[in-house]
Structure 1
């Protein structure tokens, strides 16, 4: 039987803005299951430790969402907050994938596992080394970059390296202080050069 005393989001927002301490606790209680469900839905292959860290980030964003939500907007608080949660999850998954590729490369180059201060291994999975296919791809990328540096300008080399690490055009543009169109043009130019060499 469902609790009939459960407050809706607008009542909780009012309570929170009246400085009632229990309001944040009730918000967390209301959204905890939804957040966990969304985390599990979008983070297949992620270990429990990372999921818990992601959950904590989402709960921090809950407090920020409560502060920034404006009731006169068209969307409900639930829609507003769950959109924020989805973006937090996707950003986290992208950053973890980029970070994981650096750990895998380090492991492959030096032949040992990397662990943090608490003894947790920083690589996903149970295997000691990446798959042979991944190892071959990383070696080919390094070889291509080392060969390409001779014929590429420094800026082109940086763009190619960042693109191979999984950065989006927008992220590359922000890091290099260039427009997205410039990055797009340079990547197309590099592809044409590569096709001309082959």
Structure 2
């Protein structure tokens, strides 16, 4: 990975050399779109951290392509330094993606790394803190405070009710366009164009 995402996935040589440069650029655009820009940035940061760790610990440690032993050692060092399992998991994902895109053997898929990761989760794992869902009682209280004579309150009422009825995430709710909402004899049908789940 370099710069803003998955450039390694689209090599300018080999199979891609026979494609027009415009088509290669479009392939690269779709490769970048495979993950959010913030995810690519986080992966870049994680890979820099991994490369720095390798350089700091031994000249023989190579970040790309890395051996399973190197990755297992890195994960162990992270866990022992107090990094949360979620951070360790994201750094492991960054290493995995970098190897896949670089067409290197993926050390994250090795039994050795998988076993170390399972141990880290078992020793340091914490329960995911989930937010409580909005309950009908609270929604009713919020709706009662809205003034139907104000346009902003009508908008808020619609957003709250559509989001609640559709069990939508905030990102799904704000991404809705008028064309995504259709009235049918059975009720309203929403088209969710992108969803995290």
TM-score range, shorter chain: under 0.3
Q: TM-score, normalised by structure 1?
A: 0.26
Whose strand fraction is larger, Structure 1's or Structure 2's? 2
Whose helix fraction is larger, Structure 1's or Structure 2's? 1
